[in-house]
Structure 1
Amino acid sequence: MASSIGGKDARKIKGGGAGGAKASSFGTVAGHSASVTYVSMLGLLLFCPPFVIVLWYTLVHGHGAVSSFWDLAQAKGFQALVEIWPRPTLTACKIIAAFGLFEAFLLLALPGKKFIGPVSPSGNRPVYKANGMAAYVTTLLVYTAMWRFGWFNPALVYDHLGEIFSTLIFGSIVFCVLLYIKGHVAPSSSDSGSTGNFIADFYWGMELYPRIGSSFDIKTFTNCRFGMMSWAVLAITYCIKQHELYGKVSDSMLVSTCLMLVYITKFFWWESGYWCTMDIAHDRAGFYICWGCLVWVPSVYTSPALYLVRHPNELGTQLALAILVAGLACIYINYDCDRQRQHFRSTNGKCTIWGKAPGKIEATYVTEKGETKKSLLLTSGWWGLARHFHYVPEISAAFFWSVPALFEHFLPYFYVVFLTILLLDRAVRDDQRCRTKYKKFWDLYCREVPYKVLPGVY
């Protein structure tokens, strides 16, 4: 879940606000041509749901070998997908509902400081209750306590995982349809509207800040409290299942799980910062964000540990520690990038970065209401290396919690490949948004910080 430098969403829609687009301007928003954008939307809508099932089947039943499904597909064609696709079950529905309702309860019930999000293009400022860390700690304590006291066996989740993913796939599509309908009939704010194209509206979403009532923020629930929380819960589940199978947890699983949990802990510690990023402040609540967090995060992001359940590699103390330390260093750098930028913003640039006064560009921009605003762009520290340097340690961290799977099969590294493509594309989209917002000041910023992601390369 990566952050962005910022910038107003350039999409113009019927009804005003950010996060949507007329069909003719779609390519501009995504940083690609309109035809490429539409093809990619349709491709992801059709490809992602079955891929989740193929990934689960290959990792659990095919021992991670791509050939296990490929051979089946060659022999039976489309029927192979039908045969391996688990049917949604009542057990899966109960597990999902219990988890979702518990997280919704924590979101509403736990105390937390008020956090006011950034001003939207329509002039709205969403208000959040910052209780993510409390919800995270509570979730993990309750889940492990239920296991330790024999109230619930998390191995049951692994045993019904295919059914759970299948239920999530279809249930989340229905959820996105309901979001589409809500955006038409009962939008939560003026940051909403239609492109006039059903596929575009369904994929990108109708609303920037959809809510139920005044306090239940839908994107906070889908992205943070269901998606990211399920990643942590499943990582622990896979450890418990491996222990059930082999009587112990391998050092490879411990390293992978530890790094994932540290990263997720960092996320919830920094959750208020996440509310200011592209996912929340620019991208609308549709298939791309909500289905992705409800289904893609728990299935794909956890895939390295899912593979390790039945492949308990023993790395040895030295190799395990080396991977752990390298991964922790990457997570810290990723955190420090965000911390550095937040500190710069909160002090209005009156701080030190790496012991020196920060380099900055004082930019102005014009809102949709015609108001002129000022903004500071940081050009030193981590942000002086590249405009999106924080993606480098994020991708590296993902590699280090995947590498305990070693190199017998490719699929445990699919998440790393996917994340690299996602973040490189996001860097392009974010640059497009910032160029639209800051105009000549962004050109000046790009001259000061010429590299987009990797210093000296790109």
Structure 2
Amino acid sequence: MDSLVIQSVKVRGRPLQRTLEPRRKRIHSSKRSGSRKSKHHDHFYQKLYGSSSRPVKTASMLAMMIASPFFIVFLWYTMVKADGSVEKAYRHFYTNGIRAFKETWPYPSLRACKLLGAFSTFEALLQILLPGERFLGPSTPAGNRPFYKKNGVPCFLTTLGVYYLLWREKWFNPSFVYDIIGEIYSTLICMTYLVTVLLYMKGHMAPSSSDWGSSGNPLVDFFWGMELYPRITRSLDIKVFMNCRFGIMGWAILVISFAIKQHESQGKVSDSLMVSSLLMLIYITKFFWTEAAFWCSMEIAHDRAGWFVTYTCLTWIPVVYSSVNLYLVTHPIQLGKGVAMTIFLFGMFCIYVVWDCDRQRQLFRHTHGKCRIWGRIPTKIQAHYQTEWGEHKKSLLLTAGWWGLARHIHYAPEIGAAFFWTLPALFKHAMPYFYVAFLTALLIDRANRDDKNCKLKYHKYWEAYSKKVRFKILPKIF
């Protein structure tokens, strides 16, 4: 029984138990419950988490799935072959057309498959085998409460330790990753589509919990996903693996590999790449240290496992997030001690604020508001809401500390941290700043989505909260 996560709720006077334990059978088997399943999964679930949550039409979804691989290749070519110049890369592809992509495209390779296969297997084993504290995620629309194992820090440290050992003992040269980085990117793209197909089939044939459903449109199901918490065995949550153990961990491995490549090719690591790499690795360490907070975020608690999530985790995060480092490998910039230290300290401050925002929120949740934030008893709003199953619940909305300045205050230092680890590239070219621009647009959109979802959930209580905390991200500005 300890392996089950059980939440009891009451629906029309009778108790139900919902679990998020992987099972071979679908949750509902009777005709009566089957009709409820159809109503819940095909209408309500799709309404909350399907295509209606984002105004993306069929043509847009197809365009994203077709264009995304071309963008990854364009990004790689710009950083590695065009010296970071978007204009130079654009002229190359515009002048030569499709032939340019055919000649330039770094095709998947067996050696890239071996590297990614070994890395994936190693990280999956770490996620399953390394011990960690048990953590309960937020309740789902179907009444489940997923459980996780908090072993992100041990997995991260073990990964770095093993990678260093492989390098020191000359069993593997990390600079080889840079040498075949185009092949790795192309293989990641193929992996994305393969994994999405498998998730689509699993969603139809063997869903892990009652939090699954179909929109009736195969393209929508493929793009947005069918399962909220797909799992393989009790310990391997697929979304956590893809995002945290593969995407974020892969980002760290690329950052280290690029620094080693520059050291081998130029005899040292430039202060620009050093500052950028250190800030990223510190941020990634912070991420794994506070990983449990991420499991309550929109990516895990709301977005289902379809192409969009899979592409983001397996390809976008490791490729785009490390793109400035890829540029700096062959374009070293000497900032000088004063400039380098200033950039580093500003970046560290932003990372600290991100961490402290999460700390305040978690402290407030765990103590139910009976704590001190910035030396004072925090102010709050007690919100009441009703679940889809008819259960009445309460939530406390924090209006003190960082969270009294803006409703999504943690997004501001997130953008700031990304800016400062990109700043060492200076301003000769715009492409290194693509991630900063993307992150800014993403977090503004997410803030709007969060506000919309919370308004639907809390109604008048969210309106009261919005009046008390008037700004979304930046106090006095937005």
Same fold (TM over 0.5): yes
Secondary structure of 1:457's partner?
coil
1:179 to 199, 220, 229: 199
Cα gap change, 1:306/1:271 in structure 2, threshold over 3 Å: closer, same or farther?
same
Residue in 2 that maps onto 1:66: 86
Residue in 1 that maps onto 2:46: 21
Describe how 1:401-412 pairs up with structure 2 within 5 A: 401-412=421-432
Cα gap change, 1:17/1:198 in structure 2, threshold over 3 Å: closer, same or farther?
closer
Q: Deviations over 1:256-286 (max 9, x none)?
A: 0000000000000011111111111111111
Instruction: Give the letter aligned to residue 41 of structure 2.
Output: G
1:211 counterpart = 2:211? no
Contact 1:19-1:208 at 8 Å conserved across structures: no
1:119 to 113, 134, 139: 139
Residue in 1 that maps onto 2:384: 364
1:355 counterpart = 2:380? no
1:278 counterpart = 2:298? yes
1:197 counterpart = 2:217? yes
Contact 1:402-1:413 at 8 Å conserved across structures: yes
Contact 2:49-2:303 at 8 Å conserved across structures: no
Q: CA deviation at 1:73?
A: 1.8
Residue in 2 that maps onto 1:234: 254
Residue in 1 that maps onto 2:448: 428
Residue in 1 that maps onto 2:114: 94
Instruction: Give the letter aligned to residue 370 of structure 1.
Output: G
Cα gap change, 1:26/1:98 in structure 2, threshold over 3 Å: closer, same or farther?
closer
- Unpaired runs of 5+ residues, structure 2, are 1-36
Residue in 1 that maps onto 2:73: 53
Cα gap change, 1:107/1:52 in structure 2, threshold over 3 Å: closer, same or farther?
same
Residue in 1 that maps onto 2:332: 312
Residue in 2 that maps onto 1:153: 173
Instruction: Give the letter aligned to residue 63 of structure 1.
Output: D
Q: CA deviation at 1:68?
A: 2.5
Secondary structure of 1:16's partner?
helix
Instruction: Give the letter aligned to residue 308 of structure 1.
Output: L
Q: CA deviation at 1:288?
A: 1.6
Q: CA deviation at 1:37?
A: 5.3
Q: CA deviation at 1:82?
A: 2.1
Instruction: Give the letter aligned to residue 235 of structure 2.
Output: S
Contact 1:365-1:374 at 8 Å conserved across structures: yes
Contact 1:364-1:441 at 8 Å conserved across structures: yes
Mark the structure with the bigger radius of gyration: 2
Distance 2:334 2:167 in 1: 25
Residue in 1 that maps onto 2:271: 251
Q: Deviations over 1:344-390 (max 9, x none)?
A: 00000111111111111000100011010000001111111111111
Secondary structure of 1:455's partner?
coil
Distance 1:108 1:63 in 2: 41
1:291 counterpart = 2:311? yes
Instruction: Give the letter aligned to residue 273 of structure 1.
Output: A
Contact 2:127-2:245 at 8 Å conserved across structures: yes
Q: Deviations over 1:61-113 (max 9, x none)?
A: 11101122211222121222222111111000001001100100101111111
Contact 1:256-1:404 at 8 Å conserved across structures: yes
Distance 1:22 1:13 in 2: 13
Instruction: Give the letter aligned to residue 148 of structure 1.
Output: R
Contact 2:127-2:155 at 8 Å conserved across structures: yes
- TM-score normalized by structure 1? 0.93
Distance 2:414 2:60 in 1: 24
Distance 1:26 1:233 in 2: 34
- Unpaired runs of 5+ residues, structure 1, are 1-11
Describe how 1:31-46 pairs up with structure 2 within 5 A: 34=55, 36=56, 38=58, 40-46=60-66
Instruction: Give the letter aligned to residue 274 of structure 2.
Output: L
Residue in 2 that maps onto 1:395: 415
Distance 1:24 1:132 in 2: 27
Residue in 2 that maps onto 1:6: none
2:128 to 89, 92, 108: 108
Distance 1:332 1:86 in 2: 39
Residue in 2 that maps onto 1:332: 352
Distance 2:259 2:98 in 1: 34
Count of residue pairs brought into register by the alignment: 442
Instruction: Give the letter aligned to residue 214 of structure 1.
Output: R
Cα gap change, 1:443/1:190 in structure 2, threshold over 3 Å: closer, same or farther?
same
